Amino acid sequence: MSANIPELERTYNCLNGFTLWLLILAGIIALLIGILSFLSSRKSAELILAKDHQFASQLKDKEIQIELIKKQAARDKQESDKKIATLNIQAEFLRNETEKAKQIIREQSERVTKVEEYQEQSALVKAINHYTSEDIPAATMKGHIHRVMGPYKMILPPADVGLSGTFFAGTYAMFIIEPQKGDCIVLAGTPLTMGNRITSTGDNAAMISLVCFTPNIWETLGINSIFIDGGS
């Protein structure tokens, strides 16, 4: 029994040494695992940071692009507003010029119309000499001038609206203007008895104009010299 004791002690010591080495090896392995884990975590963190940095950089680029787009849109809007303003000014100018042209055309048209009316009236105004008493046709009471060359009686046509004529003495002689029985002469604002004539006083160039504005009524205008109610 005593002879086996040294052998047991050696075995025990060997086991203790082996255990110690196992513990040391386990510690080294644990340390290596820790180091590897740390390195892996650090690498992951670095990758995450790199990705974050990349994302932030991309985000900043997008923000810059958005800002550039906004500025370009603002410039485009300014250019568009300028073009619209220019077009509005041009349109207003064209409207004004068109209105001026229309006004000129209207004025020219009015002048042409007045000239045509004057020419028409001039064509109608004719001088007629009377050397005897006679009936005056309605066709010669459209602005005509009647020169009475002696003591004659001028018998007017029926008083229709629009008829007019001027009578004047071509000599020193009284002349008579006689309306139809159903017509009235208004002499210097005074209506005469229906059918009553008017008579000049014999002055040379005695003149009177008669115009019909109302049916059956002769108005007297432009009286030169004296005319009187000559009765019926």
Same domain, 207 and 227: yes
pLDDT at 228: 94
Instruction: Report pTM.
Output: 0.48
Per residue in 52-76, pLDDT tens? 678 777 878 888 888 888 888 888 8
Same domain, 119 and 206: no
Among residues 124, 141, 174, which one ends one of the domains?
124
CA-to-CA distance for 48 and 148, rounded, in angstroms? 127
Same domain, 130 and 209: yes
Among residues 109, 124, 139, which one ends one of the domains?
124
Same domain, 112 and 33: yes
Same domain, 75 and 134: no
Report residue 2 as tokens: 């005593």
Among residues 124, 159, 178, which one ends one of the domains?
124
pLDDT at 119: 42
pLDDT at 112: 45
Q: Within the chain, what is the greatest distance between any pair of CA atoms? A: 202
Whose structure tokens read 């052998």? 7
Q: Which domain holds residue 70?
A: 1-124
Per residue in 187-221, pLDDT tens? 999 999 999 999 999 988 899 999 999 999 999 98
pLDDT at 43: 74
pLDDT at 122: 45
Domain total in the chain: 2
Exposed / middle / buried, residue 192 (Cβ in 10 Å: 0-12, 13-18, 19+):
buried
Residue ranges of the chain whose pLDDT lies below 70: 1-15, 52, 105, 107-125
Same domain, 89 and 188: no
